[in-house]
Amino acid sequence: MRINMKHVWIVFKKELKDAFRDRRALFMNFILPILTTPLMLLVIIYATKSAYEVKPEKTKICIMGEQYAKQLVDLIKNSQFDIVQSSNPKKDLQNGKIKAVIEIPQNFSDHLSKEKQVNIKILVDGSDSKSSNVGLILSEIITDYAKNITKQRLLSKNINPEIIEPIVITKENVAPPRKMALFLLAILVPMFVVLNTSLGGINVAIDITAGEKERGTLEPLLTTAASRISLVTGKYITVSIMAIISGVTSLIGLGLTFWFLPLAFGENATKELGDIAALALPVSVYIAMFIVVVLTAIIFSAVEVAIASYARSFKEAQTYLTPITFLVLILAYFTMYKTPNDLVDSYFIIPLINSLAIFKELIYGIINIQHLLLFIVSSTVYLIASIIFASKMFENEKVLFRS
């Protein structure tokens, strides 16, 4: 059958008008993507920061036997930790009332004066990231104190302290603050945008296929002069447009995030949210992202129309299409913690993973022509296959009207 573009236009115009009348579809495609991107970014940034950041003045610890090591305890107090008393420190630690417990033995001073080794225990809750970090900070304080004692002992014997520490290790982070912030963005943004794009057309796809079956309006439509291929093309373009809108509004939400953060937090933006507050992506990156959104949208739209055509009712179609959400989330983990240097060519060929991988590169400001071509060519192949699949499903009477 040949495509009649006049019929395609009539179907498309009618379906798009119906889609825009649906308040739920408007909310899902216009409002929700714009809101979810900045809100999810803020929530995750705050949650991550609060989970790992240690503010000593707000962190309660307990020192058992503090009277045996007053000098060491003074050093810990100088770090501004809130030292509290507890009748059952281990229980309070497990319940989260305190973040760490230091156990100083009674023979602490005696062993030090006799130049013997003494054991100090630091108890933490390994299931609590903040407690673990407090343990690391306290370990550093006690280690520095121990090194100072060793230094004094050696000097008293006219021995150079450097003899026992011939190598000093200095760890330096060469990643600029912007790159650290981009790493966090590259974990979150591809998943949000691709998820919104791939799911943006689902409700419309269900409504104009399985929904019409349920309402009894599909059969009369098939008796019109329009060919099956013209009908499915018009419907497919409608779903694609809605999916593209969802993806584009996600990008707008991302842009608004960078614009809003400095306004909302002012001078405290960097302090509250880190260097992510000072980021801004160039226009060329957004243009490339738009291309990725379009290709991702039109591929998923064809698959969604095909699957929804097979369903006999709205609810059945929802059941069949729900796994797409989980598929996106599962595949997102394949690229989530990878940097652009870790992304090999195969990542830009595999369906959906190629969208996530190219988004990750774009967030870093990388426009790799080879990877873009791999993405475009592979996506074109998947697009052709998905359109053929959708048209075959729509032309099959047994599929459309199965009992």
Is the pLDDT reported for residue 258 higher than 80? Answer: no
- Provide the pLDDT for residue 215: 83
Banded model confidence at residue 237, pLDDT cuts 50, 70, 90: very high
**Contact yes or no for 209/320 (Cβ under 8 A):** no
Answer yes or no: is 317 within a domain. yes
Q: To which residue do tokens 């929530």 refer? A: 43
CATH number, domain containing residue 96: 3.40.190
**Same domain? 377 vs 316:** yes
Query: Is 66 a domain residue?
Result: yes
Q: Which of 163, 185, 204 finishes a domain? A: 163
- The answer on 65 and 42 residing in a single domain is no
* pLDDT at 175 exceeding the cut of 70: no
Cβ-count burial 377-389 (b if 16+ within 10 Å, e if not): ebbeebbeebbee
**62 strand-pairing partners:** 101
What percent of the chain is predicted at pLDDT more than 70? 89
β-sheet bridge partners, residue 83: 61
Cα–Cα distance, 305 to 202 (Å, whole number):
8
Q: How confident is the model at residue 403 (pLDDT cuts 50, 70, 90)?
A: low
Residues 196 and 343 in one domain: yes
Q: Band of the pLDDT at 267, cuts 50, 70, 90?
A: low
- Lowest average pLDDT, out of 6-15, 259-268, 354-363, goes to 259-268
> Which pLDDT score is estimated for 156?
86
> Would you mind telling me the total number of residues written for the chain in this entry?
403
Q: Which residue type does 284 have?
A: S
Question: Is there a contact between 387 and 233 (Cβ–Cβ < 8 Å)?
Answer: no
Specify the pLDDT at position 240: 93
Given this model, what pLDDT does residue 51 score? 61
Task: Note whether residue 337 is domain-resident.
Answer: yes
Domain boundary among 107, 134, 163: 163
Which pLDDT does position 127 carry in this prediction?
87
pLDDT digits (tens, 9 = 90+) for 8-55: 898 889 888 888 888 887 888 888 888 877 777 777 766 766 666 667
| Pair (103, 189) in one structural domain | no
Whether 44 and 128 share a structural domain: no
Q: Is 224 a domain residue?
A: yes
Q: Are residues 82 and 132 in the same domain?
A: yes
Average pLDDT, the chain: 83
pLDDT at 50: 66
- For residue 80, what are the CA distances in angstroms to 13, 59, 67, 344? 67, 9, 18, 47
State the pLDDT at residue 330: 86
Output the pLDDT for position 276.
52
Structure confidence at residue 272 as a pLDDT band (50, 70, 90): very low
The pair of structure tokens assigned to 108 is: 């602490």
Determine the Cα–Cα distance for residues 233 and 227; give it in Å rounded to an integer. Answer: 10
* 168 found inside a domain: no
In a domain, 201, yes or no: yes
Residue 171 lies in a domain: no
Of 141, 163, 185, which closes a domain? 163
Confidence of residue 347 (pLDDT cuts 50, 70, 90): very high
Predicted confidence (pLDDT) at residue 334 exceeds the cutoff of 60: yes
47 or 113: which leads in pLDDT: 113
Highest mean pLDDT range out of 256-260, 328-332, 396-400?
328-332
Lowest model confidence (mean pLDDT) among 132-146, 160-174, 257-271, 389-403: 257-271
Domain co-membership, 233 together with 307: yes
85 vs 283, residue with greater confidence: 85
| Per-residue confidence (pLDDT) for residue 370, from 0 to 100 | 92
Same domain, yes or no, for 184 and 81?
Answer: no
24 and 155 in a single domain? The answer is: no
Question: Is residue 134 domain-shared with residue 276, that is, in the same domain?
Answer: no
Q: What is the pLDDT of residues 115-171, one digit of tens each?
A: 888 999 999 998 888 888 899 999 999 999 999 998 888 888 888 888 887 888 888
Q: How many domains would you assign to the chain?
A: 2
187-211 mean pLDDT: 86
pLDDT score at 277: 47
Residues of the domain holding 44 = 5-51+177-401
- Same domain for 68 and 46: no
Residue 172 lies in a domain: no
- Is the pLDDT score of 241 beyond 70? yes
292: left (phi over 0), alpha (psi -120 to 50) or beta: alpha
> Does residue 151 share a domain with residue 14?
no
Residue-wise pLDDT tens digits, 279-317: 567 788 888 889 889 999 998 898 888 888 888 888 888
